[in-house]
Amino acid sequence: MRLWLVRHGATDWSEQGRLCGWTDIPLSPRGRSQAGPLQPRLRGRVFDGVWTSDLGRASEFARLAAGPAEADRRLREIDFGDLEGKLWRECDRPTRDALVRFDGFVAPGGESVTQLELRVGEFVSEIGSGEHLVFTHGGVVRLLTRWHGVVSHPAPGELTILEWGSIDGE
């Protein structure tokens, strides 16, 4: 299986450094423009599946970069719960440390990384072999790359190509 993972483009919240999980914040003008450089790499390429998170920022980015994609709720970012919309500096030190560590993180009033792992793992196990294009969020890309021993913090609009069993970031 080969996954072409794309983190959606920037939003006003990401540009401000706000935590954004399930809040459906749209792409910023900059975020929309970040789809342009991906178009030549993606258009015309044949994938066994083209998938997107069901949140607007990911599905719009997919449409702009590659065209239609099938939405799947399991590709959502982690639910930050009570931390939604908070600036990094507004989070206390233990919360920031837990977010950096990632493994074992539990968002107060939201979701744990373990819950994120279960839903993303279910998605990956169901899509089958082949080459898949996936428009999703930074936390999902981070999770999938960590499963392969790589620490990744993709920038908005960044593409990472992941071969099941090895990693080839682009």
> What positions carry a catalytic annotation?
8, 77
Read off φ and ψ for residue 132, nearest 5 degrees.
-125, 140
- DSSP bridge partners of 92: none
Report CA 31 to chain centroid distance, whole Å. 14
Q: How many CB atoms lie within 10 A of CB 27?
A: 24
Among 162, 74, 154, CA closest to 121: 74
Q: In what order do the strands lie in the sheet with 49-52?
A: 70-71, 49-52, 131-136, 2-7, 159-163, 166-169
Report CA torsion sign: 121, 122, 127, 129.
positive
